[in-house]
Structure 1
Amino acid sequence: MSYDMIAALMFGSMLMMLMTGQRMFGVIGFVAVVAALLLWGDRGGYDLAFAQSMKVIGWFPLLTLPMFIFMGYVLSESRLADDLYRMFHVWFGRMPGGLAIGTILLMVLISAMNGLSVAGMAIGATIALPELLKRNYDKRMVTGVIQAGSSLGILVPPSVVLVLYALIARQSVSDLWLAGIVPGLMMAAMFIGYIWIRCKLNPALGPALDAEELAAVPKAEKYRLLMAGLLPFGIFLVMMVPFVTGYTRLVESSVIGAVASVLVAVAKGRMTRQVFETATRQTLAISCMFLWIILAALAFGAVFDGLRAVDAIKGLFLDNLGLGRWQVLILMQLSFILMGTFLDDTAMLVIVAPLYVPLVKILEFDLVWYGVLYTMTCQIAYMTPPFGYNLFLMRAMAPKEVSLVDIYRSIVPFVAVMVLALAIVMMFPQLALWLPNTLRH
């Protein structure tokens, strides 16, 4: 049997097993080890799994993963997100669509605290959505706002997805995080611009709050909320400024962020035993899940390296089909959107990265830039029917008056904005590369 057929058989077996509902890391790792045993015998198969385990254990930057997850859970479980939204409620309420704009800003800050899109979705659906509906905001507008805003969690640092990509692509985590800042903020600004224009043209979509209600809030309360709401932003600065200026490495900065979040929760009297226990348990569960996924991904990628599957794909695209490098890149992004209809971002990365990352290198594209493109494409895939990840999360969390049809229709304009943002970053790579290149030198 040719190596091309073996690679196709591995992919087919993996996809069939995933459809049975088995855990992703178990399926991918099982297929990798069985393939190695059949190809290279007992010694090759056992050495494959052991070697990848040693690689994971020896990767020092991976320590950032539990630190940032713990920081995010401490801040969310201690209800600091409530203060953030109350601040946006008071300070942006006079604008048409002001609370929706505040929700996007809330999502940006939540993303900077947690690095997972599901955290933004949970906070937006439980805190922002009921308030927006109560204030007579259009239900399709607000469900789209929360879904789009929560997707920023996998692009704005400290993105956990970019940590996984860094390990698989053998790139610097710090470079990838820095590369995600400008595109992430640009996308958030485009969301805000769209909301402001829509609500300016049609104020009924996002009515401004009653002036009397806002006037009833004392100035002292407004400034107290401003200070409370800016605390998470202060934690982010305390964590990232030493790293950007070169005083600390990435791991030390993640520890600073975790410690700062605990100190803030203690200072506000919210670090209870329940908060600490929940944050610790969730951190352990998510960190272990990602470690198993990383181990499986490395094993799967090692088998593909041995099969030279990348050379086969290169020959298919460039030699047989005669496609140009940009055409191949666009096809790769379209494949991510297609897979995103039934897989989450981690599954897509683990399955496809062993093939696409070497291909990107052969096509002479920057791997850091491509990491940003991959993450932005995952954001779009999260919101693409029929089985987009965020669509079903919103359906599970939204009240009964928000139907599945409303949720599907709500994402259309936001997906259009995200596609535009992706096209801009593709056309102007320096939007992603300027910051890491500047700070690297």
Structure 2
Amino acid sequence: MSYEMIALLMFASMMLMLLTGQRVFAAIGFVAVAAALLLWGDGGSEIGFSAAMKLMKWYPLLTLPLFIYMGYMLSESGIADDLYKMFHVWFGPVRGGLAIGTIGLMVAISAMNGLSVAGMAIGATIALPELLRRNYDKIMVTGVIQAGSSLGILVPPSVVLVLYGMIARQPVGQLWLAGVTPGLMMAGLFVLYIAVRCWFQPSLGPTLSKEERDVPLAEKLLLLRAGVLPLLIFFCMMGLFVLGYTSLVESSAVGALAATLAALVKRRVTRAVMGEVLRKTLGVSCMFMWIILAALCFGAVFDGLGAVRAIETLFVDRLGLGPWEILILMQLSFLLMGTFLDDTAMLVIVAPLYVPLVGHLGFDLVWYGVLYTITCQIAYMTPPFGYNLFLMRAMAPPEVTLIDIYRSIVPFVAVMAVGLALVMAFPQIALWLPQMVYAR
């Protein structure tokens, strides 16, 4: 049997196991170990063992549980509620102002969390009921929360970019910095869309009543304190890292400590909160660890098969495709897989093939990590089985139907596609900041 056929059978077996409802790490790891044993006999067992040792020796992996802990500490301690109250007062007098403020809230949560799920949970439980109560269009605001929460996997400290860096062997610090400008640009495009649409259709995002807008300036300024703590936490974490005072792992420890101190200052740390934070941190961290282990094992088998070279030969020599045509096909495959897989599963499945191929085609792997992440954002919101669609359906009130959720994401997917095209056409949007910082 040819190596190409073996690779195809491995992919088919893995997809079949995923469709039966098996856990991602179990499906990928089982196929990898079984293929190694069938191909190389007893010696194939060393592949899984080597992958485990490589994972345990991967020092940057310490950032993963620390950032997850930081995000859950901030969300469970109620700091997000204070942030939304600040945005509510300052943006309420503007048409669509509360929706714009929700995007601001999502950016702040993303900068403190690194996970899309946390932003979705906070937006659906805090912002959505308030927006609906104030007669905002339910379809538009549902899309706002889904689009805003997707920023969590692009804005640092993105956990997805940490995983990409580990699997693609790229510096996580550069990946984080590369995600800053595209993430802010994407948020700016969302705000621009909301502002323009609500200007021409004021009924979609009405302003606050005169009584609610009549807040004394002193009280408004007092509410700004809600934004001070997140800014301080972000500076302690990213600012010290960018300035060169802390390493990547040290910055994650500083962020976790700063989040805990902030919750203590606000007297939000109780035994129940701490227990919930630690339980969720442990659960998510273990899940990611198993997935990374399975990905490393799967990638090692593919390296042994020479499948990467075979795929490159198929695209370049047999089909005669150029580098950009191959890259666009890769992005389209991410969108297709995103209809039934989450970002981590997509990365684990295709990274062993795509990442080496992207490098061979002459593209920057840090830039490609940003492209992958933006494409995941779009795939998260793509019917019929987009990950964010079902998260929103589970958290939204009964009056928001699944059809409403599907309709809500159409304009935001178009906006994100524009953002993806801009980053593809102008790579320096993503690369200028890491190049400037690391050139020092």
Q: Please tell me whether residue 159 in structure 1 is matched to residue 170 in structure 2.
A: no
Q: Would you say 1:139 and 2:170 are equivalent positions?
A: no
Per-residue CA distance 1:244-293 (angstroms, 9 max, x = gap): 01111011111111111111111111111111111111111111110000
1:220 positional shift:
3.6
Report deviation, 1:221. Answer: 3.0
Deviation at 1:20, TM superposition (A): 1.1
The aligned counterpart of 1:355 is 353
Shift of 1:332: 0.3
Question: Partner of 1:243 in structure 2?
Answer: 241
Counterpart for residue 169 of structure 1:
168
Q: CA RMSD of the aligned region, Å? A: 0.8
Which residue does 1:4 correspond to in 2? Answer: 4
What SS does the corresponding residue of 1:385 show, helix, strand or coil?
coil
Superposition map of 1:53-64 within 5 A = 53-64=52-63
In structure 2, stretches of 5+ residues that fail to align are none
Residue 238 of structure 1 and its aligned partner are, at CA, apart by: 1.5
Length, aligned pairs only: 439
Q: Which residue number in structure 2 is paired with residue 128 of structure 1? A: 127
Q: Which residue of 1 aligns with 2:36?
A: 36
Matches within 5 A, 1:208-287: 208-215=207-214, 217-287=215-285
Following TM superposition, by how much is the alpha carbon of 1:222 offset from its aligned partner in structure 2, in angstroms?
A: 2.1
Q: Where does residue 46 of structure 2 map in the other structure?
A: 47
Instruction: Report the Cα offset of residue 223 of structure 1.
Output: 2.2
What are the ranges of 5 or more consecutive residues in structure 1 without an aligned counterpart? none
Residue 112 of structure 1: how far off its partner (Å): 0.8
Opposite residue 213 of structure 1, the aligned amino acid is: E
SS at match of 1:208: coil
1:324 pairs, out of 322, 325, 328, with 322
Q: 2:25 corresponds to which letter in structure 1? A: F
Q: How far apart, CA to CA, are the structure 2 residues paired with 1:245 and 1:399? A: 44
Supply the AA of the counterpart residue of 2:224. Answer: L
Q: Distance in 2 between matches of 1:230 and 1:195?
A: 26
Aligned equivalents of 1:220, 1:283: Cα separation in 2: 39
User: 1:228 Cα shift?
Assistant: 1.7
**1:84 positional shift:** 0.5
Corresponding residue number in structure 2 for 1:179 = 178
2:431 aligned partner = 433
Q: Equivalents in 1 of 2:344, 2:196: separation in Å?
A: 34
Hey, what does 1:22 align to over in structure 2?
22
Deviation string, structure 1 residues 345-369 (Cα, Å, up to 9, x no partner): 0000000010000110110000000
Give the corresponding residue for 2:400: 402
- Is contact 1:84-1:230 (8 Å) kept? no
| Mapped contact 1:137–1:204 kept (Cα < 8 A) | yes
Kindly indicate whether the alpha-carbon contact (under 8 Å) linking 1:70 and 1:258 is maintained by their aligned counterparts in 2. Answer: yes
State how far apart, in whole Å, the 1-side matches of 2:172 and 2:49 are: 24
Q: Normalization by structure 1: what TM-score? A: 0.98
Percent of paired sites with the same residue: 73
**Match in the other structure for 2:296:** 298
Which whole-Å CA distance do the structure 1 matches of 2:334 and 2:419 have between them?
A: 16
Residue in 1 that maps onto 2:113: 114
Distance between the aligned counterparts of 2:217 and 2:70, measured in 1?
Answer: 31
For the residue of structure 2 that corresponds to 1:402, the secondary structure is coil
1:330, 1:378 → 2: CA distance?
14
CA contact (8 A) 1:187 1:418 kept: yes
Amino acid at match of 1:162: L
**Structure 2 CA distance for aligned equivalents of residues 275 and 396 of structure 1:** 23
Q: Residue type matched to 1:244 in 2? A: V
Q: Distance in 1 between matches of 2:62 and 2:219?
A: 39
Cα separation, 2, equivalents of 1:240 and 1:315: 42
What SS is found at the alignment partner of 1:240?
helix
Q: What is the CA-CA distance between 1:212 and the residue it aligns to?
A: 1.8
Note the C-alpha offset of 1:387.
Answer: 0.6
Task: Report the AA paired with residue 150 of structure 1.
Answer: S
Q: Give 1:238's aligned amino acid.
A: C
Aligned-residue offset at 1:155:
0.4
Query: In 2, Cα distance between the equivalents of 1:240 and 1:387?
Result: 34
1:206, 1:57 → 2: CA distance? 50
Task: Please tell me the residue identity of whatever aligns with 2:103.
Answer: I
Q: Which residue of 1 aligns with 2:391?
A: 393
1:404-423 aligned at under 5 Å gives the runs 404-423=402-421
Report the Cα distance in structure 1 between the residues aligned to 2:124 and 2:349, rounded to whole angstroms.
30
